[in-house]
Amino acid sequence: MLLAKDYLDMLKSYEESLADLYDAFAARFWLKRKFWRQLAADERHHIQMISDIRAQVESGQGTMRLKGFVGVDVVEARNFVLNLLNRVADGGVARRDATRRAAEIEQTAIEGDFYGILETDSTGLKDMLGVLRKQTRERRDHLGRELRRWF
């Protein structure tokens, strides 16, 4: 049975792969380097938040559980990101495709409600999960604006 701590580890791994992808985009697309670096920094902030949530749960500052059955959406999303990262390394991703794919990745996290699967009685932990969900929506919206602006 998958525990909330295990799911948090899966989320952290997903966010790490996404930060790596955005860093790779920053290295590849110099014209929008600042944009991609900011997205990577946002992901690193998420990684820290997930680590903080896990530490609070482990220290007994709050409990966390999964709402019902949890599928493999996070694992599949991470694998997609890693495959895209390999394509970037091979030079097989154009700037427009990078922005479109990034928006799709963020949309997948929203549709899968990656952070809404977790529930807690702790107000502080609920707030942190809410911030993660909100920032994911904001990043998706930012990517959408970027697509419309440049393409």
Tell whether the model's pLDDT for residue 86 goes beyond 80: yes
CA 68 to chain centre: 21
Kindly state the percentage of the chain with pLDDT values over 90. 79
pLDDT recorded at residue 21? 97
Mean pLDDT of 9-23: 97
Tell whether the model's pLDDT for residue 144 goes beyond 70: yes
pLDDT tens digits, one per residue of 21-63: 999 999 999 889 999 999 999 999 999 999 999 999 999 888 9
**Alpha-carbon gap, residue 114 to 118, rounded angstroms:** 8
Mean pLDDT of 74-87: 94
CB-based contact 66:6 (threshold 8 Å): no
pLDDT recorded at residue 39? 96
DSSP sequence for 32-65: GHHHHHHHHHHHHHHHHHHHHHHHHHHTTS---E
Residue 92 banded pLDDT, cuts 50, 70, 90:
confident
pLDDT recorded at residue 68? 72
Mean pLDDT of 85-92: 90
Please count the CA atoms within 13 angstroms of the CA of 75 that sit on its side-chain side.
Answer: 5
Residue among 115, 107, 112 at smallest CA distance from 142: 107
DSSP for residue 118: E
Residue 151 banded pLDDT, cuts 50, 70, 90:
low
**Alpha-carbon gap, residue 122 to 52, rounded angstroms:** 14
Tell whether the model's pLDDT for residue 108 goes beyond 80: yes
Tell whether the model's pLDDT for residue 71 goes beyond 90: no
